[in-house]
Amino acid sequence: MQTSVNAIEKANVLRKEFLEIEINHDELLSIEQFYRCLDKKLRRQFDRELGDQLYQRMNKSFNNKITVDEFIKVFLQAEEILKNKIEGCKKQILDYNKQRKYVSSQFDSIKDSERVNQYGIKEDSHLTVELLEGINFPAQNVSVILKLENQKQEIQQQNGPSLQWNKTLNFKISTGLEELQLFFYTINHPNIPQLLGTVTLSLSHLTNQTKIEDCCQLFDKNGQQTQTKIKLRSQWIFNDSKSLSHQIEVWNEQIKTAQDDLIDFEKDLATLYEPFPNYVQLIRSIEKEDLAINHQPPNTLVMTPINNVSSQYDYKLYTRLSILIVMGLSVFICFGKTQFLDLIICFFFIIEFEFNRLYKQRLIYYSVAVGISLLCDLVWAIKYSRGFWGSEATETDKYYAIENGPNRLALILLYVSFVFKLILCALLGALSQEMPEKLEEQLPNKNKQGKQQLLYQKNKTAQFGEDNSTFYNY
């Protein structure tokens, strides 16, 4: 329902855009008049390549003329297609980046640990050959023998003339100088094999370590080419580091291609929007509305606004500064006395403060906790401050207050923290008066929850008037 409302609203705005140049929505236009309208709206020449593609898709049933409504229909279709392509490119880029990251992590894990021989080939290097099909083979039973150095494998008989093997074979490679030989035999009565032809494959064209598909002609026993062909797919992995490095390059190229396509699609959409500034404003307003909905998580506990916004801002600012100062002082006081209570209070308060989880009763609890901490510090200060007052101090007091430097620093900072704790208690009390009694559950607007697709975002910063050379066909 919301989508149809947006479509109607968009169509009405586009009709008003044409009314500004005195063109009614049902007025018939030739191609020349159509371009003059767009040029007049844009105050320069509209992109003719894009205009031609739009015009070709319109219903020209009135003596090769169109109406504004027909243009609007095609315009909205083109907009939707471009947005889908833009979103598709973004998803592709994200997927390609994930793949590249995965391959890069594999590369980093083996690049320094892989062991290779004097030929630069890893210990478990192997050649994989997949026989796909045979072409123009005789209508007889055919068997295949594959040889590589002292390795030999055989494929059972198949009937011609069009053979479908789909067999995969592996051969160990040591130097990279080996050659794979394939011998094809026909089986005549009484089971006497007759050489049909041979194929020799070198490893030199497999050094990029990717799968390569070949269609090779067979040579008879005299070295002459025959009409018989074999299709096969082969891959040689001889160095994992190089293979992964090549895969990273491939992903980089695909990412670059997708990014270039994304730029082209965004330019095309910007070109489509150029003549219609009011329509662009509508798109931006709908976009902001959709973003607000999509960033509102369902069933989220949020704090209701405080009535006195200006005083709330001041209280929050001063409270944040005070709690940070008290926390900093507590860290240094820990050199002379245990101050873990203050650190725990500050830590939990900051977390709940930043995540908007505070309400009136909870602030009162924090005020009480700060008061208890203040009382504990006062008792400690009274006992160990006597070392500053003269001969009445005991040896233990002198040790804590005078002879131990960190304790003297802790005592001085403790007096400073008294002031900020008193200020903090006052701020917490004042802030609690303007906070709600409890957290309230705020649900998203159900009427707006049906909007699933974000509208085009890049266009809001697009610089109209750039040269747009390509537009992708629908």
DSSP 131: E
Q: Which residue has the higher pLDDT, 123 or 103?
A: 103
Per-residue pLDDT band for 198 (boundaries 50, 70, 90) equals very high
Comparison of pLDDT for 179 and 438, the residue scoring more: 179
Look up residue 286 and give its two tokens.
């709908």
Boundaries of every domain in the chain: 1-114+240-298, 126-238, 301-442
Whether the per-residue pLDDT at 362 is higher than 70: the answer is yes
Whole-number pLDDT of residue 298: 43
- Chain centroid to CA 322: 40
Which of 56-60, 228-232, 441-445 has the lowest average pLDDT? 441-445
How many C-beta atoms surround the C-beta of residue 410 within 10 A?
24
Q: What is the DSSP string of 361-377?
A: HHHHHHHHHHHHHHHHH
DSSP string of 188-250, one letter each residue = ETTTEEEEEEEEEEESGGGTT-S-EEEEEEEE-TTS-EEEEEEEEEEEEE--HHHHHHHHHHH
**Amino acid code (one letter) for 259:** Q
What's residue 443's pLDDT?
38
- The CATH classification number of 126-238 equals 2.60.40.150
Q: Higher-confidence residue: 468 or 248?
A: 248
What type of residue sits at position 357? R
Q: Is residue 380's pLDDT more than 90?
A: no
Least confident of 10-24, 175-189, 291-305, 340-354: 291-305
* Residue 61, pLDDT score: 62
* pLDDT reported for residue 314: 58
- The predicted pLDDT at position 299 comes to 40
Q: What mean pLDDT comes out for the span 355-383?
A: 79
Which residues, in sequence order, are CB contacts of 37 under 8 Å at separation 6+? 18, 21, 23, 29
Distances (CA, A) of 307 to 246, 304, 310, 354, 427: 62, 9, 9, 20, 17
Please state which of the ranges 349-358, 402-411, 420-429, 462-471 shows the lowest mean pLDDT: 462-471
Residue 431's pLDDT is 73
Asked whether the beta carbons of 427 and 318 are under 8 A apart, the reply is yes
Query: Could you tell me if residue 63 is left (phi over 0), alpha (psi between -120 and 50 degrees) or otherwise beta?
Result: left
Of residues 174 and 473, more confidence is placed in 174
**Digit-coded pLDDT (tens) for 67-115:** 888 888 888 999 999 999 999 999 999 999 999 999 999 888 887 788 8
- Say which amino acid occupies 85: K
Lowest mean pLDDT among 179-183, 374-378, 401-405, 450-454: 450-454
